[in-house]
């Protein structure tokens, strides 16, 4: 049986109270366990409790299966990786394919992986020799250039030398001497001049050259040429920018050193033939081999691509299946296993309304798995607080999110989400009242909603996905701000006489005096909807609008706070907490309404009668000298006595809130202590098993001091909060003022100024600035700031009055949520 609270005769509102939940126990025969959990996952209405919390993951019964699923998921990731490398996209499942069993799938995956690995390793080998050959070819070409250019300069020098020696005897003395010296040294000390050619990564070349220089003590000649395009490195198979180098050195020891250094730097050495004829021959050879290899590699990659594209058709269903199986085994790991009776015991929460569906799913599972025994389904009694579950749809979901972001509602607590659906967009619109901007917002959000299906299926950016998930909130926000914009009569800060003509007229035809002496009211009835357009641009525009919006903010605020307090009454009534009704709700209502309810009353009376009373004065002197004569500020007969009465009521309400509740709790506690020896025997239901679930609420220590301090904090918070929260609602006025002023600044100082020049270029620039300022500042930033302020008003001022928000969310085991999450 569920924890049933509240009056049965009060009709249940779907969203107002969270679903009734019950703790159920399933005793599942081992042979149908997997099938059962799968069916429940399809249904997605049962939240399992972890009954093996004390065991580490690998000590649990189905740890091996989870491991197997992990291994399969790894293989699938490997395939996906290979597919992205081969730039094959994941294909949408074309036709209904037959579902494989998990074991079959595992075998198949192993086969595919080994095959793919084989193909890869062979193609890697081929690719390696291919890229080695490419490098060799590069070396042949580039180094060939060095040698031929060196040869030509050398021969030129030789010729010059011969010219010099043969032609003239009258050259300076030192040249022949030098020559002689050279002649002498060369043949005697000549060691074999060796060289090494190869390729090295561009980033390493500086260090390489430095080390070579040091190792050979400078006895080397290093020449390098950049390869224009990045080359595939044979070792790592990555594209790297490389250089062809030639190192000349002398001596065998130097050769050893250079070889070692080359190896250390990962420079690939290639033999370079010295004779020119040989070079050409090698180039030919290399290019023919390259062509052959290329054909082989192409064939291999075609084979691999065809295999991968075959996989690509199935990888989505496969990985979904593996994820589902893994989730099923995770759940199975959470169950208690009774070895002797060969069954598994599960416990979990489900909505009371879903009991039948769950039982159907259980029967189906037992039938499908040919189990002789059906799963036993029974409801447990518990004192644990059930999870909170609201059935939301795509419209209400976003509003519920706003509430949930503050805190998940306590089980069956009054849900502010219901009211948020209307009040949130409305408070937003009060701050964002401009029907021009509202229409812009509406167009944007309608675009999102009409393309819902398209955007819903694809991944969006951070900000975009936020806007998308809140699209229905924004929709109402836009519609409401068109409404308030019509009331404020503002369209991009302009006003239009849409609802008939203005009630005011200028005193003369030119209207030259209007800003100084004001207008003359000509019609007896006021402008019939919203603010009269005549106010716009007049000298008294701001004082009028400010007074109106300020008073309106207070009215809205007092109304919403009263709603919050009334909801606390519904909570108290629902949870049968008489104390909260009489010692919390009643004094709170009295306190708030004696002060600010009265203020609201004065505002309305003043509006209706058109009196000139000063409300500040009335409110302040109500406290300072309640008995003094009101004089001009009297709005109605008996106001003075009413004020004294209200003041007294407010003063009484404070100790009323503070003292009785803790005292009564203490008295009850003492009574319970006296009567502890006797207990009331409760009637037991025959069809349910009673299990003791740990801590009983009764054993809690009662500490009077703590309760009193808690109540004191609560009282002080409420009393101070009544003032500060009312003041807080003035943000409605402030933001609305800021919005209209900003938009009129943009209109007057940018657009009108630009139009004033009567120059087409200036007009275009001016319009562009106006448009971007309107979109950037007013439509984006102002929307955000008004949103945040509306959020605060809901979280602090409204929900603070009644909302506990200390529940936890119902998270059923469901395949549909698994399918959504990407690994």
Partner 1 sequence: MYGFEALTFNIHGGYLEAIVRGHRGGLLTAVDYNNLCQCETLDDIKMHLSATEYGPYLQNEPSPLRTTTIVEKCTQKLVDEYKHMLTQATEPLSTFLEYITYGHMIDNIVLIVTGTLHERDVHELLEKCHPLGMFESIATLAVAQNMRELYRLVLVDTPLAPYFSECITSEDLDEMNIEIMRNTLYKAYLEDFYKFCKKLGGATSEIMCDLLSFEADRRAVNISINSIGTELTRDDRRKLFSNFGLLYPYGHEELALCEDFDQVRGVMEKYPTYNLIFAKLSYGESQMLDKAFYEEEVKRLCLAFEQQFHYAVFFAYVRLREQEIRNLMWISECVAQNQKSRIHDGIVYIF
Query: Residue 578 CB, nearest distance to partner 1 (Å)?
Result: 47
748 binds partner 1 (CB under 8 A): no
Interface of this chain with partner 1, residues 191 to 210, rule: CB under 8 A: 204, 207, 210
Query: Residue 762 CB, nearest distance to partner 1 (Å)?
Result: 45
Using the minimum distance from each CB to partner 1, give the nearer residue, 56 or 340: 56
211 binds partner 1 (CB under 8 A): yes
85 binds partner 1 (CB under 8 A): no
107 binds partner 1 (CB under 8 A): no
119 binds partner 1 (CB under 8 A): no
Q: How many Å from the N-terminal Cα to the C-terminal Cα in the chain?
A: 39
Q: Which residue has the tokens 């992205």?
A: 84
Interface of this chain with partner 1, residues 215 to 234, rule: CB under 8 A: 215
Q: Which member of 51, 61, 78, 225 binds partner 1 (CB under 8 A)?
A: 78
**Angle subtended by helix axes 33-43 and 276-333, to nearest 10:** 90
Q: Cβ of 424: how many Cβ atoms within 10 Å?
A: 26
Q: Cβ of 511: how many Cβ atoms within 10 Å?
A: 11
State the Cα–Cα distance between residues 502 and 515, nearest whole angstrom: 16
Question: Is the CB of residue 454 less than 8 Å from the CB of residue 403?
Answer: no
Query: Which window, 56-64, 172-180, 348-356, 811-819, contacts partner 1 (CB under 8 A)?
Result: 56-64
CA separation, residue 441 to residues 400, 474, 487, 699, 782 (Å): 22, 8, 18, 56, 12
Query: Residue 673 CB, nearest distance to partner 1 (Å)?
Result: 41
59 binds partner 1 (CB under 8 A): yes
Query: Residue 334 CB, nearest distance to partner 1 (Å)?
Result: 15
Query: Which window, 63-71, 98-106, 540-548, 560-568, contacts partner 1 (CB under 8 A)?
Result: 63-71
State the Cα–Cα distance between residues 648 and 671, nearest whole angstrom: 34
Query: Residue 809 CB, nearest distance to partner 1 (Å)?
Result: 22
Residue 562: CA count within 13 A, CB half-sphere: 17
**Angle subtended by helix axes 598-609 and 639-658, to nearest 10:** 160
Query: Which window, 68-76, 488-496, 737-745, 755-763, contacts partner 1 (CB under 8 A)?
Result: 68-76
Q: Which member of 1, 5, 13, 77 binds partner 1 (CB under 8 A)?
A: 77
- For the four alpha carbons of 272, 276, 278 and 283, in that order, the dihedral sign comes to positive
Contacts 24+ apart (CB under 8 A), 634-640: 635/602, 635/605, 635/606, 635/609, 635/611, 636/605
Query: Which window, 179-187, 258-266, 276-284, 536-544, contacts partner 1 (CB under 8 A)?
Result: 258-266
Question: Is the CB of residue 785 less than 8 Å from the CB of residue 793?
Answer: no
Q: Which member of 5, 57, 689, 709 binds partner 1 (CB under 8 A)?
A: 57
- Structure tokens of 126? 């081929």
Q: Which member of 248, 265, 582, 808 binds partner 1 (CB under 8 A)?
A: 265
Using the minimum distance from each CB to partner 1, give the nearer residue, 58 or 616: 58
Using the minimum distance from each CB to partner 1, give the nearer residue, 76 or 441: 76
Using the minimum distance from each CB to partner 1, give the nearer residue, 103 or 687: 103
CA separation, residue 713 to residues 26, 565, 656, 704 (Å): 45, 17, 14, 14
Using the minimum distance from each CB to partner 1, give the nearer residue, 74 or 809: 74
Query: Residue 112 CB, nearest distance to partner 1 (Å)?
Result: 14
58 binds partner 1 (CB under 8 A): yes
84 binds partner 1 (CB under 8 A): no
State the Cα–Cα distance between residues 549 and 543, nearest whole angstrom: 10
Name residue 520's beta-bridge partners: 505
Q: Which member of 71, 305, 384, 401 binds partner 1 (CB under 8 A)?
A: 71
- For the four alpha carbons of 626, 627, 632 and 634, in that order, the dihedral sign comes to positive
**Angle subtended by helix axes 435-450 and 471-488, to nearest 10:** 160
263 binds partner 1 (CB under 8 A): yes
Using the minimum distance from each CB to partner 1, give the nearer residue, 73 or 402: 73
Q: Which residue has the tokens 């008295």?
A: 667
Query: Which window, 74-82, 220-228, 605-613, 664-672, contacts partner 1 (CB under 8 A)?
Result: 74-82
Site size with partner 1, rule: CB under 8 A: 25
Q: Cβ of 217: how many Cβ atoms within 10 Å?
A: 8
Query: Residue 70 CB, nearest distance to partner 1 (Å)?
Result: 7
State the Cα–Cα distance between residues 250 and 445, nearest whole angstrom: 78
Using the minimum distance from each CB to partner 1, give the nearer residue, 58 or 678: 58
Q: Cβ of 167: how many Cβ atoms within 10 Å?
A: 9
Closest residue by Cα to residue 19 from 361, 504, 355: 355
Site string (6-45) toward partner 1, x via CB under 8 A: ----------------------------------------
Length of the chain: 823
- Structure tokens of 103? 């074991």
Q: Which member of 63, 91, 150, 506 binds partner 1 (CB under 8 A)?
A: 63
Using the minimum distance from each CB to partner 1, give the nearer residue, 215 or 650: 215
Contact residues toward partner 1 (CB under 8 A) are: 56-59, 63, 66-67, 70-71, 74, 77-78, 204, 207, 210-211, 214-215, 257, 260-261, 263-266
């Amino acid at each position: 049986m569920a924890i049933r609270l509240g009056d049965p005769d009060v009709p249940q509102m779907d969203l107002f109270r969270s679903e009734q939940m019950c703790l159920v126990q399933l005793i599942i025969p081992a042979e149908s366990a997997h099938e059962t959990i799968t069916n429940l996952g399809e249904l997605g209405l049962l939240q399992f409790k972890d009954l093996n919390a004390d065991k580490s993951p690998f000590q649990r019964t189905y740890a091996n299966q989870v491991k197997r699923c992990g291994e399969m998921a790894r293989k699938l990731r490997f395939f996906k990786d290979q597919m992205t490398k081969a730039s094959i996209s994941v294909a949408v499942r074309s036709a209904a394919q037959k579902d494989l069993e998990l074991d079959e799938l595992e075998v198949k995956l192993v086969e595919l992986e080994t095959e793919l690995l084989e193909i890869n390793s062979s193609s890697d080998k081929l690719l390696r020799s291919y890229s080695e050959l490419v490098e060799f070819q590069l070396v042949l070409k580039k180094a060939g250039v060095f040698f031929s250019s060196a040869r030509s300069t050398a021969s030129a020098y030789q010729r010059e030398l011969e010219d010099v020696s043969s032609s003239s005897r009258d050259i300076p003395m030192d040249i022949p001497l030098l020559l002689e010296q050279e002649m002498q040294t060369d043949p005697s000390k000549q060691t074999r001049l060796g060289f090494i050619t190869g390729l090295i990564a561009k980033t390493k070349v500086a260090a390489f050259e430095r080390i070579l220089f040091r190792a050979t003590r400078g006895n080397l000649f290093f020449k390098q040429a950049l390869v224009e395009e990045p080359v595939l490195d044979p070792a790592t198979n990555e594209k790297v920018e490389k250089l062809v180098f030639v190192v000349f050195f002398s001596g065998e020891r130097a050769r050893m050193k250079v070889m070692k250094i080359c190896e250390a730097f990962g420079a690939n050495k290639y033999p370079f033939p010295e004779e020119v004829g040989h070079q050409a021959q090698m180039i030919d050879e290399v290019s023919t081999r390259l062509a052959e290899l290329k054909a082989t590699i192409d064939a291999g990659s075609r084979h691999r691509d065809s295999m991968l594209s075959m996989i690509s058709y199935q990888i989505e269903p496969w990985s979904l299946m593996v994820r589902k199986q893994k989730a099923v085994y995770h759940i199975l790991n959470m169950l208690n296993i009774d070895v002797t009776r060969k069954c598994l015991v599960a416990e979990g929460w489900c909505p009371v309304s879903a009991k039948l569906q769950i039982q159907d799913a259980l029967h189906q599972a037992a039938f499908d798995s040919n189990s002789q025994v059906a799963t036993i389904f029974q409801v447990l009694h518990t004192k644990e607080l059930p999870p909170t579950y609201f059935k939301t749809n795509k419209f209400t979901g976003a509003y519920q999110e706003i509430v949930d972001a503050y805190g998940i509602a306590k089980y069956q607590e009054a849900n502010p989400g219901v009211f948020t659906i209307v009040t949130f967009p409305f408070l937003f619109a009060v701050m964002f009242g401009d029907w021009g901007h509202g229409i812009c917002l509406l167009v944007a959000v309608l675009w999102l909603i009409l393309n819902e299906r398209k955007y819903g299926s694809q991944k969006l950016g951070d900000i975009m996905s936020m806007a998308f998930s809140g699209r229905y909130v924004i929709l109402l926000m836009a519609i409401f701000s068109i409404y308030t914009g019509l009331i404020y009569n503002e369209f991009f800060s302009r006003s239009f006489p849409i609802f008939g003509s203005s009630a005011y007229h200028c005193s003369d035809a030119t209207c030259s005096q209007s800003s100084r002496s004001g207008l003359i009211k000509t019609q007896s009835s006021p402008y019939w909807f919203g603010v009269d357009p005549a106010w716009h641009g007049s000298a008294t525009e701001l004082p009028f609008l400010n007074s109106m919006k300020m008073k309106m903010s207070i009215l809205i605020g007092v109304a919403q706070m009263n709603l919050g307090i009334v909801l606390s009454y519904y909570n108290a009534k629902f949870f049968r907490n008489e104390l909260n009704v009489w010692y919390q709700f009643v004094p709170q209502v009295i306190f708030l309404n004696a002060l600010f309810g009265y203020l609201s009353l004065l505002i309305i009376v003043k509006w209706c009668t058109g009196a000139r009373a000063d409300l500040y004065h009335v409110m302040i002197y109500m406290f300072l000298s309640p008995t003094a004569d009101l004089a001009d500020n009297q709005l109605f007969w008996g106001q003075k006595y009413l004020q004294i009465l209200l003041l007294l009521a407010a003063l009484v309400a404070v100790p009323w809130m503070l003292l009785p509740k803790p005292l009564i709790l203490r008295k009850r506690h003492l009574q319970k202590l006296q009567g502890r020896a006797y207990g009331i025997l409760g009637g037991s239901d025959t069809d349910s098993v009673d299990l003791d679930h740990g801590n009983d609420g009764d054993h809690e220590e009662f500490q009077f001091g703590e309760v009193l301090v808690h109540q004191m904090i609560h009282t002080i918070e409420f009393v101070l909060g009544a003032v500060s929260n009312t003041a807080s609602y003035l943000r409605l006025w402030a933001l609305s003022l800021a919005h209209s002023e900003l938009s009129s600044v943009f209109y007057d100082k940018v657009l009108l100024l630009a139009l004033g020049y009567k120059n087409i270029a200036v007009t275009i620039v001016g319009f562009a600035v106006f448009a971007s300022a309107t979109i950037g500042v007013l439509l984006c930033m102002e929307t955000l700031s008004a949103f945040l302020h509306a959020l605060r008003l809901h979280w602090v001022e409204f929900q603070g009055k009644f909302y506990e928000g200390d529940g936890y969310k119902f998270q059923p085991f469901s395949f549909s949520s698994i399918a959504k999450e990407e690994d």
